[in-house]
Structure 1
Amino acid sequence: MGCLYFKLHDVPAPEAEAVRTLLNDADISFYETDAGNWGLSLAAIWLTHEADKARADALLADYQAQHRAEAQAQLAEAGMESLAQRFARQPLRFIAALLAVAAILYLSVMPFTGAWS
């Protein structure tokens, strides 16, 4: 009996195609189900043999690590920085922004909690 391998709900088409290609290249047999006309069924990729799951997981983990490294390289090339990098570069500005967000959230929620009555 088959086993669920990869849910396709809200998965971009290129990513789903990459998973299909990965499984095909490794000669792992699989089949797909779609969500149906009303979106009530499970759109997913299913492995035909449950014994292939460990090998497929290892292949997918390698693919995801490679994809993550490529994405980080593209962000670095484009001059984008992560949240941690931004905090390390300007910690006071980052903390001030967090405090401003917390103050706005506090002032927005307080009238509904009854604390001002």
Structure 2
Amino acid sequence: MPHHLMNLRNVPDDEADDIRALFEEHEVRYYETPPSRWGISMGGFWVHDDDEAERARALLDDYQARRLQAQREDYLARCQRGETGLWYQFRRRPVTFLAALIAIAVILGLSLLPFIRLG
């Protein structure tokens, strides 16, 4: 029976490439199904054999722990450089930021308009 190792929905391309390379390096016999464009099927990495699934799961768990640590360190470094938060986004793309704020205000206004008219 096939074993689903990892869902590929919303997985960055670099992470999926790293996992493919990891499985190739350790000669894991896996196959991959792509996620659908409309979110109906999840896609993922699969194996058929129970023993292969355990070995692949251990490799995947180790990789994900290392990636988590690397991503946390990257985020903390960006925080120290001031490259996170709303102010950074505003400075980086002021027109896009203001357009998003206006869109949010319009949507909120249209959503609340029926309730405001009741009073």
- Written as runs of structure 1 = structure 2, the 5 A alignment for 1:80-91 is none
Question: Cα 1:23–1:38, aligned 2, differ >3 Å: closer, same or farther?
Answer: same
Structure-2 separation of matches of 1:73 and 1:56: 26
Structure-2 separation of matches of 1:40 and 1:74: 33
Structure-2 separation of matches of 1:6 and 1:31: 11
Structure-2 separation of matches of 1:75 and 1:42: 28
Q: TM-score, normalised by structure 2?
A: 0.56
Structure-2 separation of matches of 1:7 and 1:47: 13
Please tell me the root mean square deviation across aligned C-alpha atoms, in Å. 3.8
For these two proteins, the number of residue pairs brought into alignment is 96
In structure 2, runs of 5+ residues without a counterpart are 83-119
In structure 1, runs of 5+ residues without a counterpart are 81-117
Q: Quote how far apart the aligned CAs of 1:39 are.
A: 5.2
Which position in structure 2 is the counterpart of 1:24? 24
Q: Please list every run of at least 4 consecutive aligned residues from structure 1 whose deviation after the TM superposition is greater than 6 angstroms.
A: none
Percent of residue pairs identical: 30
Structure-2 separation of matches of 1:60 and 1:54: 10
Which position in structure 2 is the counterpart of 1:54? 54
Which position in structure 1 is the counterpart of 2:4? 4
Q: Secondary structure at the match of 1:9?
A: coil
Q: Quote how far apart the aligned CAs of 1:38 are.
A: 5.9
Question: Cα 1:23–1:76, aligned 2, differ >3 Å: closer, same or farther?
Answer: same
Which position in structure 2 is the counterpart of 1:66? 66
